[in-house]
Amino acid sequence: MRYLLFFLLVGSQVSAQSFQEDSVVIRRMADDILNQGTAYENLRTLCKEAPARLSGSANAAKAVEIARKMLQDAGADTVYLQPCMVPHWVRGPKEEADLLMAGGKNISLNVCALGNSVGTAPAGVTAPVIEVQSFDELDKLGKKEIEGKIVFLNYPMKQTLINTFAAYGDAVVYRVQGPSRSAKYGAVGFLLRTLSTSLNDYPHTGTTRYDTTLPKIPAFAVSTNDAEKLSHFLKMKMVAKLSMKAGCRMLPDTPSFNVIGELRGVEHPDEIITVGGHLDSWDLAEGAQDDGAGIVQSIEVLRTIKASGIRPARTIRAVMFMNEENGGRGGQAYAAAAAKDGLHYIFGLESDAGGFSPRGFSIQAQGLRVMRPWEPLLEPYGACEWKEGGGGADVNPLTSVKAVVGELQPDSQRYFDFHHAANDVFDAVNRRELLLGAVNMAGLVYLVSKYGL
């Protein structure tokens, strides 16, 4: 019945013989990846040799050279670097936050500075702390209640949203805007309940953006366990003040690169398919799930297509984007070059949701109408949930040159245990799940290359 539906959907575009041929090719690539795939060992190399790959850092520069060699080893026809200027934020010494209890006792909290946060003076910032759960509550309290205090924004990610990225999308505005929204009312510091669906002791960093018309105040995340603890202490009126100390600073922009590997198309070389992830990572850990997984999966797409003897009809590029985490400059530079080079960018596929079991793809509507009939070819490998949506932050700029964009959708339930936290390490990635993601990406890229959009 599934194959009958397939033929009804595709009509004359793909013959029964082509369907069988495609099924065999994808099976061959799947067998190659699952048996001889290099993605997992590549991930080990990237994480262990260049952890904490924040843009502008020495390890980000090291990762550029590691990725270049991986693409060469994968058999790319051409490997090159695409320049981009990136922000250079430095965390400095380990942040400190201590509760000064009403009884005179001090309690340390598990915290980290949010990305792009300013630091404190050497003595730190010490002030009363006030808890809010929303911007509406912050606005109602206003300057009279907020001025001179540290705002603790305690907004849990919604457990009832089954797709945890929907919960993240609902909550992330508090991280991005919270410090400036608090500074508007005279707050001297900002403390965010970390964006995680779990209760644990890991604070998660991530970008905050300052309103340049307002004072910049130090901005921390506190672990979910300690957020619960702090909320309880405040309700019991047990806290006198909160002390924050950090040495963060923003340095001038610095040169960096996207890393690009290319298999040139033999029939339509000027039609470009982009598959990629972001090479940079936050500085607390190894950046395995975010986004080492997407990097090595994208390299694996090139490797298996070359190893399987496929001569792609259209040009396939694996792009290791720089600076997704705190600026998006790599994706912007790639799209800007695409607008000038006279080529036809037809599809951009991103993997930036972790190396977990693949569930499907999110694809723009105009592309999904063409791709939907291919679903039975990838369903055996886990990608059975195809939905209308878009791509990730690095490929979305390609919509400016009329490319269709999409994103691999792995199972989301565990991602925010690791996202932007110190436990985002190689050992937390399952080899088989990682490789299955690469299988589905390779299958989709192969089909777009063969049939176009």
Q: Which are the catalytic amino acids?
A: 324
Please check whether residue 97 is in contact with residue 256, taking contact to mean a CB–CB distance below 8 angstroms. Answer: no
- Beta-strand relationship, 219-222 and 189-193: parallel
Nearest to 279 by CA among 36, 33, 49, 37: 49
Nearest to 49 by CA among 66, 33, 35, 72: 66
Consecutive H or E run containing 141: helix 135-146
Cβ within 8 Å of residue 4, ≥6 positions away: none
Q: What gap in Å lies between CA 186 and CA 87, rounded to an integer?
A: 27
Cβ within 8 Å of residue 275, ≥6 positions away: 298, 301, 316, 317, 318, 319, 348, 349, 350, 351, 441, 445
Q: What gap in Å lies between CA 387 and CA 365, rounded to an integer?
A: 8
Nearest to 293 by CA among 413, 408, 164: 408
- Beta-strand relationship, 78-90 and 249-263: antiparallel
Strand residue runs (E) in 264-341: 268-278, 314-321
Provide the Cα torsion 17, 20, 21, 26; round to 10°. Answer: 160
Buried b (16+ CB within 10 A) or exposed e, 367-377: bbebbebbbbb
Q: What gap in Å lies between CA 287 and CA 81, rounded to an integer?
A: 21
